[in-house]
């Protein structure tokens, strides 16, 4: 029986699908190539194999995911142990619950009974195992926690979905987690932008809180970009398909442009702080012109954020919006330069306004680059 359980485990690990192995087992049994006890032993092996594939998939993921995989392993291994000890009585119990005779000598009779018996065996095994473990969930959690340590508080990972200290997960799993981190990074960009614009729209608003928030967000984005780049570089050392390699490279570029965006938004807020500190204001014309620029940039940021979340190509739309931001920036700069020349605008606040327009332009440029790399990766995968 141990050998048969081992075969079930190995086949499941190789195929990486317990459902596929179960289907194969049912097919063999239905054709009369294996009997019910052999099929049941294979099912026990499949329960071990599926925990191994789960643990392999959890490599390089966040600590919680790794602990869940370990708990799954302990749960199924323990279940297989009691099922091995009580193997024949357990088969008799299943036979009592399900009509038909899976032990019949006639192949036609066995064919009609063995599949329902196998399904009942698998279901009953999981139900009994769950009931047995219910009182020990806390103990199981403690064991899994000890098996996967999160390290000291000072070594707490900056990435939320990826375990930085671990080996990168399989490429497909790793890229799913990387995309989640990119969404998280870009969410910080949206937050920074909104806080900056709130201060821009309300000249009397105290900027001390938003200044602190923007600095913290920017610092976190930079830290995340460094950590994500390190993880992706480690992942790139694996044997990757061309499509996966393109996605990894694109993710590195996307993280870089998100970091650049955070720097420009931080600089925008700093320019705003400078105006407040010197008790200066933008000219009336500048204040009337800026909302249109803000609207276009925010639309571009939201479009890019959706693209990162849904992994959809939007390069053409992003380019159209980015060109609109660029055109508007040039128009507003020309108008404002004329105001500076004819003296209708105060010099320091006027130069600050031109700097602001430049940063809005750069935010648009980086956003378009993000959209471009997402589109390239998407098209490569098709």
Residues 316 and 348 both lie in one domain: yes
Please answer whether residues 12 and 45 qualify as being in contact, where contact means their C-beta atoms are separated by less than 8 angstroms: yes
For residue 31, being part of any structural domain is answered with yes
Q: What is the CA radius of gyration of the chain?
A: 30
Least confident of 107-111, 118-122, 255-259, 274-278: 107-111
Residues 242 and 124 both lie in one domain: no
Question: Is 70 exceeded by the pLDDT of residue 307?
Answer: yes
Give the Cα separation of 287 and 275 in Å (integer).
Answer: 13
| Helix H or strand E encompassing 219 | helix 208-236
Give the Cα separation of 59 and 274 in Å (integer).
Answer: 47
The range of the structural domain enclosing residue 96 comes to 2-152
Residues 90 and 25 both lie in one domain: yes
How far, in whole angstroms, is CA 126 from its chain's centroid? 30
Give the pTM.
0.63
The domain boundary residue, chosen from 92, 123, 152: 152
How far, in whole angstroms, is CA 72 from its chain's centroid? 21
For residue 45, being part of any structural domain is answered with yes
Least confident of 33-42, 79-88, 268-277: 33-42
Of the two residues 95 and 53, the one the predictor is more confident about is 95
Residues 87 and 196 both lie in one domain: no
DSSP lists the bridge partners of residue 61 as 162
Q: Which of 300, 282, 301 is nearest to 355 (CA)?
A: 282
For residue 34, being part of any structural domain is answered with yes
Give the Cα separation of 61 and 16 in Å (integer).
Answer: 18
Residues 75 and 127 both lie in one domain: yes
pLDDT of residue 321: 95
Give the Cα separation of 11 and 17 in Å (integer).
Answer: 9
DSSP state of 153: G
For residue 157, being part of any structural domain is answered with no
Give the Cα separation of 312 and 305 in Å (integer).
Answer: 10
pLDDT tens, residue by residue, 60-82? 555 667 788 888 888 888 888 98
Please answer whether residues 254 and 232 qualify as being in contact, where contact means their C-beta atoms are separated by less than 8 angstroms: no
pLDDT of residue 358: 94
Residues 147 and 257 both lie in one domain: no
Residues 232 and 136 both lie in one domain: no
Give the mean pLDDT of the chain: 86
Please answer whether residues 332 and 288 qualify as being in contact, where contact means their C-beta atoms are separated by less than 8 angstroms: no
Question: Is 80 exceeded by the pLDDT of residue 276?
Answer: yes
pLDDT tens, residue by residue, 159-172? 888 876 655 668 88
Mean pLDDT along residues 303-319: 92
Give the Cα separation of 316 and 123 in Å (integer).
Answer: 51
DSSP state of 168: P
Residues 7 and 88 both lie in one domain: yes
Q: Residue 249 belongs to a domain with what CATH number?
A: 1.20.58.220
How far, in whole angstroms, is CA 58 from its chain's centroid? 13
Q: Which of 214, 374, 232, 244 is nearest to 309 (CA)?
A: 374
The domain boundary residue, chosen from 152, 185, 219: 152
Give the Cα separation of 380 and 368 in Å (integer).
Answer: 18
Phi, psi of 257 (to 5 degrees): -75, -30
DSSP state of 103: T
pLDDT of residue 152: 36
Residues 115 and 221 both lie in one domain: no
DSSP lists the bridge partners of residue 162 as 61
Residues 92 and 180 both lie in one domain: no
Residues 253 and 374 both lie in one domain: yes
Residues 283 and 320 both lie in one domain: yes
For residue 275, being part of any structural domain is answered with yes
Phi, psi of 157 (to 5 degrees): -65, 145
Phi, psi of 61 (to 5 degrees): -90, 180
For residue 158, being part of any structural domain is answered with no
The domain boundary residue, chosen from 86, 121, 152: 152
Q: Name the domain count of the chain.
A: 2
For residue 165, being part of any structural domain is answered with no
Give the Cα separation of 77 and 224 in Å (integer).
Answer: 37
For residue 218, being part of any structural domain is answered with yes
Of the two residues 330 and 22, the one the predictor is more confident about is 330
Local structure of 105: helix, strand or coil = coil
Beta strands in 84-167 (DSSP E): none
pLDDT of residue 154: 35
């Amino acid at each position: 029986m141990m050998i048969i359980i081992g075969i079930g485990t190995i086949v499941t690990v190789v195929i990486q699908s317990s459902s596929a192995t179960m289907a194969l087992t049912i097919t063999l049994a239905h054709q009369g190539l294996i009997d019910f006890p052999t099929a049941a032993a294979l099912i026990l092996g499949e329960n071990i194999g599926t925990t191994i594939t789960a643990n392999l998939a959890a490599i390089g993921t966040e600590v919680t995911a790794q602990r869940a995989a370990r708990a799954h392993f302990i749960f199924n291994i323990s279940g297989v142990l009691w099922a091995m000890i009580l193997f024949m009585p357990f088969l008799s119990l299943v036979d009592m619950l399900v009509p038909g005779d899976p032990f019949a000598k006639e192949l036609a009779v066995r064919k009609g009974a063995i599949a329902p018996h196998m399904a009942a065996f698998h279901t009953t095994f999981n139900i009994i195992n769950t009931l047995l473990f219910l009182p020990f969930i806390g103990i199981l959690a403690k064991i899994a926690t000890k098996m996967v340590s999160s390290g000291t508080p000072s070594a707490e990972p900056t990435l939320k979905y990826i375990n930085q200290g671990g080996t990168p997960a399989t490429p497909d799993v790793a890229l799913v987690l990387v995309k989640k981190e990119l969404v998280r990074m870009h969410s910080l960009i949206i937050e920074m932008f909104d806080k900056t614009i709130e201060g821009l729209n309300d000249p009397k608003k105290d900027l001390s809180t938003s200044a602190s928030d923007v600095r913290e967000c920017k610092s976190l984005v930079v830290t995340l970009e460094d950590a994500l780049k390190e993880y992706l570089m480690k992942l790139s050392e694996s044997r990757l398909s061309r499509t996966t390699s393109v996605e990894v490279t694109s993710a590195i570029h996307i993280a870089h442009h998100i970091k650049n965006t955070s720097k420009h938004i931080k600089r925008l807020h700093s320019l705003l702080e400078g105006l407040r500190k010197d008790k200066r204001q933008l000219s009336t014309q500048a204040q009337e012109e800026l909302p249109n620029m803000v609207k276009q940039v925010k639309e571009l940021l939201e479009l890019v954020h959706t693209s990162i979340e849904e992994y959809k190509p939007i390069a053409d739309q992003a380019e159209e919006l980015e060109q609109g931001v660029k055109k508007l920036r040039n128009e507003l700069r020309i108008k404002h330069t004329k105001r500076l020349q004819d003296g209708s605008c105060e010099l320091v606040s006027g130069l600050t306004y031109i700097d602001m327009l430049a940063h809005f332009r750069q935010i648009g440029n980086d956003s378009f680059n993000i959209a471009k790399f997402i589109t390239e990766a998407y098209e490569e995968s098709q």
